[in-house]
Amino acid sequence: MADVICDERPLVFEDLVGWFSAGAKAKSEWRIGAEHEKFPFHLADHSPVPYEGPAGIHALLQGLMRFGWTGVYEGETLIGLERAGANVSLEPGGQFELSGAPLQDLHEICAETGGHLTEVKAVADELGLGFLGLGFTPTWTRDQIPVMPKGRYKIMRAYMPKVGNLGLDMMFRTCTVQVNLDFGSEVDMVKKFRTSLALQPIATALFANSPFTEGRPNGFLSARANIWTDTDPDRTGMLDFVFRDGFEFATYANYALDVPMYFVKREGRYIDVAGRSFRDFMEGRLPELPGERPTIKDWADHVTTIFPEVRLKNYLEMRGADAGPWSRLCALPALWTGLLYDDAALEAAWDVCKDWSIESHETLRRDVTRLGLKAQAGKRSAQDVAREVVAIARQGLKARNRLSGGMVDETGYLTELEDIAETGITPAERLLDLYHGPWAGDLTKAYETLAF
């Protein structure tokens, strides 16, 4: 979904709050924006793909232009593509991301996802490349992974080790699937934020798909989710203030103000201000930009450097799920659309988690990384909660009654999640069964059987 960017001018606090509140839309205008990442690899030897070279990321981006994509550049460097409200971008280690256009229903979302994967595969086949849908790279060491030529990543790479132990793994070795959803008002935002944040660990368990590191089991079902627990405490986590009385747009704006900055972008160049205060920036006290004050675009850029499990922008981003196969790329937006876009479903979903203590949220977030659906959520098992939550999502989608050309509603996109919730067996546990069984400990099989 495109961010709402106002005229560039010096800011006061009310402008920061207004940037969030400007996203409020009538229900008839609510849209769904899906995002997913995947690891490109060389088919011949399963190695990561550098930016340069005849079969590199640059060549892949150029090849996709035949489908009507327009290049996005940083200076003269091609770093992404855009087309009709969607864009393709690069994560730090070359993870290939589709950020889809804001669309009306899940049928359009899944068609967009499928069309993108078809286009990517057409070009990748010519280059001898494949793509892997997992939450964490199963065999590569951090040192093996190339660095993409984007200015903000250079700044982040230098800063991450100062504030956490696993930030570089987050940057270079993880992939996720996300969905972006609208809100109708401040009250609606608060309901959706609280509900989705509390239930985000349940989504983490349902989508857990990263049990391997450097060729062997790592002790987690979602290593990706565990990495976020030791990346940067200033900008990650379950945001306990969201559940406290009085939460509103201004609360989140104050939180974001206190998250240390990474950069300021001027004339296409990233200026390293890592660790500086946006509050000082608003007073013209950044040593790197003496006397200069931020614009609303600077605020929008800063908000993108905050990484809680649910992120507020001009919409809400669900950030708790591992990447996976094509079928689960559609299931993630189906889950959250069903829960948050129908009033009765939203109330029912909040009833599930409204009595959980604030202290329990972070505990559940950590427990599901190892235990998946066997974790405890309040007084219930995560599996029991997952069954109920997926059933509520089904009712929400049924009530939406958005039909495809074949007169089929959106509930079918939940089928795989219903199986996971019913059996209690996460995708990661199925992968571990393959590893210990048919694969006989050979993770090269992952590249052969799990590629798109």
394 falls in which pLDDT band (50, 70, 90)? very high
Is the pLDDT at 367 greater than 90? The verdict is yes
Cα distance between residue 294 and residue 271, in whole Å? 13
Residues 318-361 have pLDDT tens digits of 999 999 999 899 999 999 999 999 999 999 999 999 999 999 99
CB 216 within 8 A of CB 328: no
| 224-263 tens-digit pLDDT | 999 999 999 999 999 999 999 999 999 999 999 999 999 9
Does some domain include residue 6? no
Q: In whole angstroms, how far apart are CA 30 and each of 104, 325, 401?
A: 7, 27, 15
Average pLDDT rounded to a whole number, residues 160-180: 98
Pick from 351, 314, 345, 352: nearest CA to 184: 314
Residue 166 domain-assigned (yes or no): yes
Measured between alpha carbons, how far apart are the two ends of the chain, in Å? 25
Q: pLDDT at position 222, please?
A: 98
SS (H, E, C) the chain: CCCCCCCCCCCCHHHHHHHHHCCCCCHHHCCEEEEEEEEEEECCCCCECCCCCCCCHHHHHHHHHHHCCEEEEECCEEEEEEECCEEEEECCCCCEEEECCCECCHHHHHHHHHHHHHHHHHHHHHHCEEEECCCECCCCCHHHCCCCCCHHHHHHHHHHHHHCCCHHHHHHHECEEEEEECCCCHHHHHHHHHHHHHHHHHHHHHCCCECEECCEECCCCEHHHHHHCCCCCCCEECCHHHHCCCCCHHHHHHHHHHCCCCEEEECCEEEECCCCCHHHHHCCCCCCCCCCCCCHHHHHHHHCCCEECEEECCCEEEEEEECCCHHHHHHHHHHHHHHHCCHHHHHHHHHHHCCCCHHHHHHHHHHHHHHHHHCEECCEEHHHHHHHHHHHHHHHHHHHCCCCCCCCCHHHHHHHHHHHHHHCCCHHHHHHHHHHCCCCCCCHHHHHHCEC
Left (φ > 0), alpha (ψ -120 to 50) or beta: where does 21 sit? alpha
Q: Give the number of C-alpha atoms closer than 13 A to the C-alpha of residue 175, restricted to the C-beta side.
A: 29
| Sole residue written with tokens 């790329």 | 329
Q: Is the pLDDT of residue 6 over 70?
A: no
- Percentage of the chain surpassing pLDDT 70? 98
pLDDT average, residue stretch 135-155: 97
pTM: 0.96
Q: Are 25 and 182 in contact (CB under 8 A)?
A: yes
Going from the C-alpha of 293 to that of each of 147, 278, 315, the distances in angstroms are 31, 10, 26
C-alpha distances in angstroms, 301 versus 63, 135, 272, 296?
29, 25, 13, 9
Mean pLDDT (whole number) for 135-154: 97
- Kindly report, residue by residue over 191-211, the tens digit of the pLDDT: 999 999 999 999 999 999 999
Percentage of the chain beyond pLDDT 90 is: 96
- Establish if 8 belongs to a structural domain: no
- Asked whether residue 3 carries a pLDDT value surpassing 70, the answer given is no
Q: Which CATH number do you get for residue 99?
A: 3.30.590.20
Domain encompassing residue 280:
13-449
Looking at residue 378, its pLDDT comes to: 86
Domain assignment present for 26:
yes
- The pLDDT mean for the chain works out to 96
Give a yes or no: residue 146 inside a domain: yes
Q: Is residue 4 part of a domain?
A: no
Residue 139: closest CA among 42, 12, 4, 277: 42
Evaluate if residue 90 carries a pLDDT over 90: yes
pLDDT of 2 reads 47
Averaged pLDDT for residues 143-165: 97
pLDDT at 317: 98
> Among residues 332, 326, 353, which one has the least CA distance to residue 417?
332
Mean pLDDT of 91-99: 98
Query: What pLDDT is attached to residue 9?
Result: 63
Measured between alpha carbons, how far is 369 from 211 in angstroms, rounded to an integer? 10
Instruction: Please state the rounded mean pLDDT for residues 304-314.
Output: 98
Is 50 exceeded by the pLDDT of residue 5? no
What's the confidence (pLDDT) of residue 410?
Answer: 98
pLDDT higher than threshold 60 for residue 381: yes
Helices 382-400, 343-353: axis angle to 10 degrees equals 170
Task: Give the count of domains, the chain.
Answer: 1
pLDDT (mean) for 51-71 = 98
**Whether 183 contacts 315, CB under 8 Å:** yes
Evaluate whether residue 435 is within a structural domain: yes
Task: Please write the tens of the pLDDT for every residue from 423-436.
Answer: 999 999 999 999 99
C-alpha pair distances (Å), 181 with each of 55, 332, 337? 36, 12, 7
In a domain, residue 1? The reply is: no
- Per-residue pLDDT of 406-426, as tens digits, reads 899 999 999 999 999 999 999
